[in-house]
Structure 1
Amino acid sequence: MAPRFTVTYFIRAQDAAEAKARALDIALEQTVEIPRNAVPKGYVEDEILGRLEALEKDLNGREGYLASISYSEDDVGGDFLQFLNIVFGNSSIKPGLRVEDILPSPGILELCKGPRHGLAGLRARAGIGESPLLMSAIKPVGLSTSALARLAGDFALGGMHFIKDDHGLVDQKTAPFAERLKACVEVVGEANSRSGGKASFVPNVTGPANAVLDRAKEAEAAGAGAVMVAPALAGYDVVRTLAADPEFALPIVTHPAFSGANVVSPDGGFSHRAYFGTLHRLMGADAVIYPNFGGRFGFTRKECLSIAKACAADMGGPKAIVAAPGGGMTFERVPEMREAYGRDVMYLVGGALLQESNLVDACRRLVAAVDPKGD
């Protein structure tokens, strides 16, 4: 018998009998996709068919149950997208079902090598000890390459560790990808020479399927410090492929664009921790950007902290990654963020800095506020 991995689902149901019936339906739908009485005896029934391992009442205020269903590694076939298909393929179309947790087996961890750098690697790249990491974004779309590069240089001079493209910057005529990449890498390098810092430029390589990997390798050759990908747009296996590529060595930052429908429903899609934490670690992200609580998107404090916890939880192999909350970060909220996240975090601050008259000075004030002891 092959090892099995386990997925825990929230099932909206009025009683245990309804929940069990729905759970057994998930076990069928996610594997053999035929009526139960048509499942062949022997290997298919004993190995391939999903197996209901536990069913208990949900205690989080929702009307429903939590069902733990195990699946055989044999059904995955060494294919990451087939793994995702088993986790939540056809059943994702049915209402009142949500992936709460994913517990990978040894074979899944072998398939998903996880992040190459993780939290420790990003800190080393930034040249810091146990301090929080800082990231900002050059924007808006429509600015020229030279204007965006000036912003990148100011962020670097001000002490930001990572300066990324806005997720809307791709290959527009006002700032083509190759031109913007070259200009920003150069200006960040010049700023590092002046300040003694180790800031990195992070281009957005999200794009057409035949361009993402080429752009990532172009970024590495040009001297970028990491790349950013929106996996819900570019494809989940793109991140895993980059992370596992022996000829590609840069850290990978993931962006949440197009992923909201996966997490905003309390009884559909994925829990925040499973999607932004567990799944992104399995993909191989080194840092995961997600909307911070109290900002403009509506994630709760509990949801955000569950992501941060999942980024660092012991998974039996994959390195801890960096939780990078953003979206509505302000100077006034820094103490609150320090209290919530501690030091193992990357603060993503954009608009609050760009609205300041002196960007370099504003960045320096943010650095001091986030790590007042200068550790």
Structure 2
Amino acid sequence: MAPRFTVTYFVQSANEAEAKARALDIALEQTVEVPRSTVPKGYVEDEILGRLESLEKDPGGRPGFLAVISYSEDDVGGDFPQFLNIVFGNSSIKPGLRVEDIGVSPGILGLCKGPRHGIAGLRTRAGIGERPLLMSAIKPVGLSTVALARLAHDFALGGMHYVKDDHGLVDQKTAPFIDRLKACVEAVGEANARSGGKASFVPNVTGPATAVIERAKQAQEAGAGAVMVAPALAGYDVVRTLAADPDFTLPIVSHPAFSGANVVSPDCGFSHRAFFGTLHRLMGADAVIYPNFGGRFGFTRAECLSIARACATDMGGPKAIVAAPGGGMTFDRVPEMREAYGNDIMYLIGGALLQESNLVDACRRLVAAVHT
């Protein structure tokens, strides 16, 4: 018998009998996808078929139950997309079902090596010890390569540890990828030479399937300090592939674009911690960007803190990664963010800094506020 991993689902249901029927349907749908009466006896029934391990009333008060279902590693076949398919393939199409947690097995940990660097590696690159990390984004789309490189320079000169592309910057005619990459790496390098800092430029390598890996390799060759990928756009296995590639050594920052429908419903999709925490660590992301509470996207404080905890909890192998909340970080919220997140965090702030008349000075004031 192969080891088994588990998935905990929220099953919306008015009573236990209905919830159990729905949970048993998940076990079928996610594995054999045939009526229960036709499941072949022996190996298929005993090993491949999902197994309902427990069912209990939702402790959070939602109208439903938590069902823990185990799956055999043999279901996965050493294939990360198939692992995702087993976790929530066809059942993701059905209403009232949500992935709350994923419990990994040795085989899954072997398949998913996790992040190469994690929060410790990102801090080492930045040379900051145990303090919070800071990241900013050059924007908007439509600016020239020269203008974007100037912003990258000023962010770095002001003390930002990581300066990334906006997620909408790809290969537009106003700032083609390779030109922007080279100009911004050079600009950040010039700022480091002036300040003695260790800022890194982080290009967005999200793009067509044939381009993502190529752009990541170009970023490494050009001297970038990390790369950014939106897994929901480029493909979840792209991140895992890059993280596992022995010839690719840069940290990977994930961006949440196109992923919102996975988490915004309380009874469908994924819990915030399972999606942005567990899955991104298994993919191999070193930092995961997500919307901060109190910003323009509506994540709650509890949801955001659950992500941060999932980024750091012991998974039996994958390194702790850094949660990077953004979309609502301002100067006057620094004390609130420090109280909520502590030191093991990467603050992503862009728009609030760009509103300031002196960008370099604004960055320095933010660094002082966060590191006080």
TMscore range, shorter length: over 0.9
CA–CA separation in structure 2 for the residues paired with 1:215 and 1:77: 29
- After TM superposition, the structure 1 = structure 2 runs for residues 149-298 of structure 1, keeping only pairs within 5 Å, are 149-298=149-298
- Amino acid paired to 2:2: A
User: What RMSD in Å do the two structures reach over aligned CA positions?
Assistant: 0.3
Partner of 1:134: 134
- Amino acid paired to 1:148: L
Deviation at 1:12, TM superposition (A): 0.2
CA–CA separation in structure 2 for the residues paired with 1:278 and 1:52: 21
Deviation at 1:83, TM superposition (A): 0.2
1:328-374 Cα shifts (integer Å, max 9, x gaps):
210000000000000000000000000000000000000000011xx
The reply on whether 1:42 has 2:42 as its aligned counterpart is yes
Partner of 1:310: 310
Partner of 2:56: 56
CA–CA separation in structure 2 for the residues paired with 1:326 and 1:340: 14
Deviation at 1:61, TM superposition (A): 2.1
CA–CA separation in structure 1 for the residues paired with 2:370 and 2:290: 19
- Amino acid paired to 1:203: P
CA–CA separation in structure 1 for the residues paired with 2:175 and 2:47: 53
1:241-295 Cα shifts (integer Å, max 9, x gaps):
0000000000000000000000000000000000000000000000000000000
- Amino acid paired to 2:129: G
CA–CA separation in structure 1 for the residues paired with 2:60 and 2:52: 21
CA–CA separation in structure 1 for the residues paired with 2:342 and 2:273: 18
Deviation at 1:239, TM superposition (A): 0.2
1:154-188 Cα shifts (integer Å, max 9, x gaps):
00000000000000000000000000000000010
- Amino acid paired to 1:293: F
- Amino acid paired to 1:338: R
CA–CA separation in structure 1 for the residues paired with 2:71 and 2:273: 21
Partner of 1:6: 6
CA–CA separation in structure 1 for the residues paired with 2:181 and 2:26: 46
CA–CA separation in structure 1 for the residues paired with 2:86 and 2:177: 36
CA–CA separation in structure 1 for the residues paired with 2:191 and 2:208: 32
SS of corresponding position for 1:210: helix
Partner of 1:145: 145
Consecutive unaligned residues of structure 1, counting only runs of 5 or more, are: none
- Amino acid paired to 2:94: K
The alignment covers a number of residue pairs equal to 372
CA–CA separation in structure 1 for the residues paired with 2:49 and 2:103: 18
Consecutive unaligned residues of structure 2, counting only runs of 5 or more, are: none
Partner of 1:109: 109
Deviation at 1:59, TM superposition (A): 1.5
1:137-166 Cα shifts (integer Å, max 9, x gaps):
000000000000000000000000000000
CA–CA separation in structure 2 for the residues paired with 1:28 and 1:308: 33
Deviation at 1:304, TM superposition (A): 0.2
Identity %: 87
- Amino acid paired to 1:194: R
